[in-house]
Amino acid sequence: MSSDEAHYPPVDPVQVGLRGRCPRCGEGALYDGLLSVKPKCGVCGLDNGFADAGDGPAVFGIMIIGFLVVGFALWLEVNYSPALWVHLTLWIPLSTVLTLVFLRIAKGVLIALQFRNKAAEGAIDRG
């Protein structure tokens, strides 16, 4: 018997994406490090070869975090006019941390949704 016949209860893609867990079992770790996806789940053995988040999380991250950081930086400048070094020491680390956290969460949710909806690369039927 070479095929996997185990049945797993459905998991919520948002919950497993937020926690960085396997989209099939919800228990194993999805990431091997900060943003690199493990080749295989350590608990259920799911092959993560299907997982390709592409540029989606990065684009959403640039738009959302860029909007927030620029908005708060402008507010700070208009209301308090701090020195340039205050802006640099405040917004560069905050942007970096928020971007990495958002990328990890968005990538996990997108991979979980790909698994749940059985998303695959498109193919042209020339039949």
Judge whether residue 2 has pLDDT over 70: no
Which among 28, 25, 31, 106 is positioned nearest to 62, based on CA atoms? 106
The pLDDT tens digits of the residues spanning 80-123 come to: 999 999 999 999 999 999 999 999 999 999 999 999 998 877 77
The pLDDT tens digits of the residues spanning 6-62 come to: 678 889 999 999 999 999 999 999 999 999 999 999 999 999 988 888 899 999 999
Domains in the chain: boundaries:
13-116
Distance CA 76, CA 79 (A): 5
The pLDDT tens digits of the residues spanning 68-82 come to: 999 999 999 999 999
For residue 19, give Cα distances in angstroms to 16, 27, 58, 87, 106.
5, 10, 19, 32, 11
pLDDT category of residue 1 using cuts at 50, 70 and 90: very low
What is residue 29's three-state secondary structure? Answer: strand
Determine the pLDDT at residue 6.
67
